[in-house]
Amino acid sequence: MSDIKKVVLAYSGGLDTSVIVRWLQDTYDCEVVTFTADIGQGEEVEPARAKAEALGVKEIYIEDLREEYVRDYVFPMFRANAIYEGEYLLGTSIARPLISRRLIEIANETGADAISHGATGKGNDQVRFELGAYALKPGVKVIAPWREWDLNSREKLMAYCDERNIPVEKKKGKSPYSMDANLLHISYEGINLEDPWAEAEEDMWRWSVSPEQAPDEPTYIELSYKKGDIVAVDGQDMKPHEVLEHLNKVAGANGIGRIDIVENRYVGMKSRGCYETPGGTIMLRAHRAIESITLDREVAHLKDSIMPRYAEVIYNGYWWSPEREALQALIDTTQEYVNGTVRLKLYKGNVEVVGRKSDDSLFDEKIATFEEDEGAYDQKDAEGFIKLNALRLRIAASKGRKL
């Protein structure tokens, strides 16, 4: 007899997690609580309720977390200009801490003994879910079916459904790719993408048109910032999730946000994936633009130097860690004067910064001008500056040292 009496499962309503509900009931003889989060995946989440009820689930949590997701996770990450391995905007990574937190909270509310998820034993998500869970509730029991069962193919999963009368939809025309979506991005893995030489098929993409099919006229957009976060688009105030929803539409319509990468997973393997991050692509470019006129040089360079570490912390699943908290505190401190407006030109997959302004700008036209500066900057000062900075080079060269 299992000592697990109740489990909270991160439940999507899809094939894998529907099988997991019954598998948990059969294997652990336990009660299952399902938790379904709406974080902007673009699909209706309410049908998960009926599916869970059909599987005998009595406690069902379905929650709209879009506002919290963007406000408390996406926006703080973009204050850091975080990007993993130079390309990946961390769309899947940043959604996992929120889900982990709610799993633990629901476990506490319902008196559950364990939590469970549908991540495989090959990926990063198992690490992210579980590191978060252990950080928030050290003694929690985690059940990861993909590391326990032998249902390691779609055929075996479907056979399991048939044997146990699990209702699952068998829709024709459904995407064959392994996909994960939320307000920040949608990812694609599997099938022909497992060959890094194979080009992604055009009909795979869901959120954006190809640059070739984008409008022949550019779209201009203005983003207003307050303390590093976007608060308005084209002069209209918006909530964080509304900002991202709007930017996804505008960017997607202009062929912006597609990438095709091979990344290094935390578990050790390389993985090829394609990602659509339309709004996030705009956000990264615009945030760097507003920082370019409002941040002190050394502060900006310090931020750039810690960004890869910050991005790695999130990618690897350490959102709920002291190092992330420390890095976040530093990053947020730098955002006090990151206020103002950025104007962008969107055209056939490209995002161009064409204007930036701020009452907190450190850009001084009198000093920077190529015209008469009326004594604002004494060019003679540069001679001593250069000689002092060259001193160590001159001493080494005088001693005959070679570069």
Residue 360 annotated as catalytic = no
Q: Is 216 a catalytic residue?
A: no
User: What is the rounded distance in angstroms from the CA atom of residue 312 to the CA atom of residue 317?
Assistant: 8
Tell me: is residue 11 an annotated ligand-binding position.
Answer: yes
Catalytic residue among 22, 38, 102, 125: 125
Torsion of CA 31, 38, 103, 23, to 10 degrees: 40
Q: Is 124 annotated as a binding residue?
A: yes
Q: Any binding-site annotation on 88?
A: yes
Catalytic residue among 16, 38, 113, 229: 16
**Crossing angle for the helix pair 154-163 and 15-28, nearest 10 degrees?**
60
Active-site annotation holder among 72, 178, 332, 361: 178
CB atoms within 10 A of CB 212: 9
Residue 15 marked as a ligand binder: yes
Comparing C-alpha atoms, which of 144, 102, 98, 142 is closest to residue 123?
A: 144
17 carries a ligand binding annotation: yes
Was 190 annotated as part of a binding site?
no
**Is 34 annotated to bind ligand?**
no
To the question of whether residue 286 is assigned a binding role by annotation, the answer is no
The answer to whether 263 is annotated as binding is: yes
Report the C-alpha gap between 233 and 238 in whole angstroms: 7
Whether 164 has a binding-site annotation, put simply, is no
Q: What DSSP assignment string belongs to 334-384?
A: TTTT--EEEEEEEETTEEEEEEEE-TT----HHHH-SS--TTSS-TTHHHH
- Give CA separation, 187 vs 74, 91, 93, 273, 390, in Å: 16, 8, 11, 7, 50
Q: 160 labelled as ligand-binding?
A: no
Query: Is there a binding annotation on residue 16?
Result: yes
Q: Establish whether 333 is an annotated binding residue.
A: no
> DSSP labels for 59-95?
EEEEEE-HHHHIIIIIHHHHHTT--BTTTB--TTGGG
User: Is 271 within any annotated ligand binding site?
Assistant: no
Residue 341 in marked binding region:
no
179-199: b or e for each residue (b if 16 or more CB lie within 10 Å)?
Answer: bbbbbbbbbbbeeebeeeeee
- Looking up tokens 């633009």, which residue turns up? 289
Catalytic residue (choose from 22, 66, 96, 258): 96
- 22 in active site: no
Rounded Cα distance between 183 and 65, Å, is 10
Residue 93 marked as a ligand binder: yes
Euclidean distance between CA atoms 165 and 159, whole angstroms: 10
Q: Could you tell me how many residues make up the chain?
A: 403
Whether residue 326 is annotated as binding a ligand: the answer is: no
Active site residues: 16, 96, 125, 178
> Which residues belong to the annotated binding site?
10-18, 37, 88, 93, 118, 120, 124-125, 128, 178, 187, 263, 275
> Which residues belong to the annotated binding site for ATP?
10-18, 37, 118
> Which residues belong to the annotated binding site for L-citrulline?
88, 93, 124, 128, 178, 187, 263, 275
